[in-house]
């Protein structure tokens, strides 16, 4: 069993920072931090499983995407004419409507600066598939639409 306390001390700040980048909300990011580590305690993984940083990145991304989808159900998206200062802000407006694989690829690429090969490894798919996912995301951003 993993030492969750040691993982929290070593990686908690990274989980919080990642959640803040994706959600643009300190309060929600703090909730995601608690959620990710509560899940880790409730469902421990074997020590020979994925590296803690990989496990936490995936768990944090998924928790944030769930929250963005929940927001979408509660509040409408801003009008397309609303100014969006950067790529991540545009992504936030679209992430909640993207299919899961596209949303994860977008966060890893635009938010984390990962290469197609790195994303392919995390998602368990080919680099070509990652390119296709990101092309669909780019199209959706350009035309402010989502699935």
pLDDT for the residue 77: 45
Secondary structure of residue 44 in the 3-state scheme:
coil
Taking Cα atoms as reference points, which of 132, 93, 140, 111 lies closest to residue 19? 111
Two tokens, residue 70? 């929940």
pTM for the whole structure = 0.60
pLDDT for the residue 42: 82
Sorted by where each begins, the domain ranges of the chain are 1-75, 78-147
What tens digit of pLDDT does each residue of 33-87 get?
999 988 888 887 777 777 888 889 989 998 998 888 877 665 554 444 444 455 6
d(CA 18, CA 70): 18
d(CA 19, CA 107): 11
d(CA 92, CA 79): 13
Decide if 1-75 and 78-147 have a common fold: no
Taking Cα atoms as reference points, which of 36, 35, 34, 50 lies closest to residue 2? 50
In terms of CATH architecture, what is 1-75?
A: Orthogonal Bundle (1.10)
What tens digit of pLDDT does each residue of 105-146 get?
988 888 788 889 999 998 999 999 999 998 888 887 777 655
Share the mean pLDDT of the chain: 81
CB 94 within 8 A of CB 134: no
d(CA 54, CA 51): 5
pLDDT for the residue 10: 92
**Helices 116-123 & 127-142 angle (0-180, nearest 10):** 100
Confidence of residue 16 (pLDDT cuts 50, 70, 90): very high
CATH for 78-147, among 1.10.10.10, 3.40.50.880, 1.10.600.10, 1.10.10.60? 1.10.10.10
- Work out whether the CA dihedral 62, 55, 116, 112 comes out positive or negative: positive
3-state DSSP helix/strand/coil percent for the chain, to nearest 5?
Answer: 70, 0, 30
């Amino acid at each position: 069993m993993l030492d969750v306390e040691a993982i929290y001390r070593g990686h908690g700040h990274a989980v919080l920072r990642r959640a803040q980048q994706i959600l643009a909300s300190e309060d929600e990011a703090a909730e995601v931090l608690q959620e990710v580590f509560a899940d880790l305690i409730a469902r421990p993984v074997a020590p020979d499983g994925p590296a803690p940083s990989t496990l936490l990145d995936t768990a944090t991304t998924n928790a944030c995407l769930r929250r963005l989808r929940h927001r979408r159900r509660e509040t409408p998206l801003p009008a397309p004419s609303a100014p969006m200062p950067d790529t991540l802000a545009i992504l936030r407006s679209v992430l909640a409507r993207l299919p899961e694989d596209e949303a994860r690829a977008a966060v890893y690429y635009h938010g984390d600066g990962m290469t197609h090969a790195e994303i392919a490894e995390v998602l368990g798919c080919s680099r070509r598939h990652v390119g296709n996912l990101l092309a669909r995301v780019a199209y959706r951003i350009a035309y402010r639409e989502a699935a």
